Amino acid sequence: MGIHHLVKNIFVGTMLALLSHISLADPLAQAAAITSLDHDTQALKKAVLDLNKELFLLEEELLYPANTQVAVFVSMDVGQYFALESVQLTMDGKDVGNYLYTEREVDALHRGGVHQLYLGNLKVGEHELVAIFTGKGPHGRDYKRGATLEFAKNIGSKYVELSISDRVEQLQPEFMVREWD
């Protein structure tokens, strides 16, 4: 939160400075300044938002360089036979994520949203990813399934998609792990 909060503080501080400038000016200049204040505020707000976005991207680039970056996403296609509650993720036997999905988040996945479950760094070489999906299966029963992916990490970003879909002929959910380079 640090850098984004910093940007917010700079924005608030700048606005205070602008306001104090108006209060110190002579009456004629004050009237003119008030007229243009709205435009200045909007321009400043846009500049701060742009700066915040750039900082966010820079932060991500620094923390997760493209050469070592691994990102894991969750997507859902239909999901009639499975009500997702959580996904637990382990990478090379180490817990790296445990995410509880709220109703609103599951609804967003149903509507085509993709959730970034994990973003981290991995060395070049062989790795194993295990995802454990927990939720309610057919007939509202507790349901827990795992999906494993053994993959080779090369130089460059690696994207992995955990996909939940319906296997209609068996009336069961299906969990797939796909690699994207």
Strand order in the sheet with 142-153: 94-100, 83-91, 125-136, 142-153
Name, in order, each residue with C-beta under 8 angstroms of 62's C-beta and a sequence gap of 6 or more: none
Q: Does 102 sit near other proteins (CB under 8 A)?
A: yes
* Residue 174, token pair as written in the block: 């299906």
In terms of CB distance, is 85 or 166 closer to other proteins? Answer: 85
- 51 forms part of the interface with other proteins (CB under 8 A): no
Backbone angles phi and psi of 12, in degrees to 5: -65, -45
For residue 118, give Cα distances in angstroms to 15, 34, 47, 90, 94.
Answer: 37, 47, 30, 10, 13
Does the protein bind other proteins through residue 85 (CB under 8 A)?
yes
- Report in angstroms how near the CB of residue 148 gets to other proteins at its nearest: 22
Binding piece for other proteins, criterion CB under 8 A, among 4-12, 56-64, 110-118, 155-163: 4-12
CB of 7 to other proteins, least distance (A): 8
Phi-psi region at 29: left, alpha or beta (left = phi > 0; alpha = psi -120 to 50)? alpha
Total residues interacting with other proteins, rule: CB under 8 A: 25
Residue 35 interacts with other proteins (CB under 8 A): yes or no: no
By CB under 8 A, tell whether 94 contacts other proteins: no
Q: What is the DSSP secondary structure assignment for residue 168, as one 8-state letter? A: G
Angle value at C-alpha 59, between 179 and 152, nearest 5 degrees: 20
CB of 8 to other proteins, least distance (A): 8
The region of 10-18, 66-74, 118-126, 164-172 touching other proteins under the rule CB under 8 A is: 10-18
Q: Alpha helix locations (H) across 64-138? A: 103-110
Residue among 2, 27, 112, 125 that touches other proteins (CB under 8 A):
2
**Smallest distance from other proteins to CB 6, Å:** 4
Contact residues toward other proteins (CB under 8 A) are 1-2, 5-6, 9-14, 16-18, 20-21, 85-86, 98-105
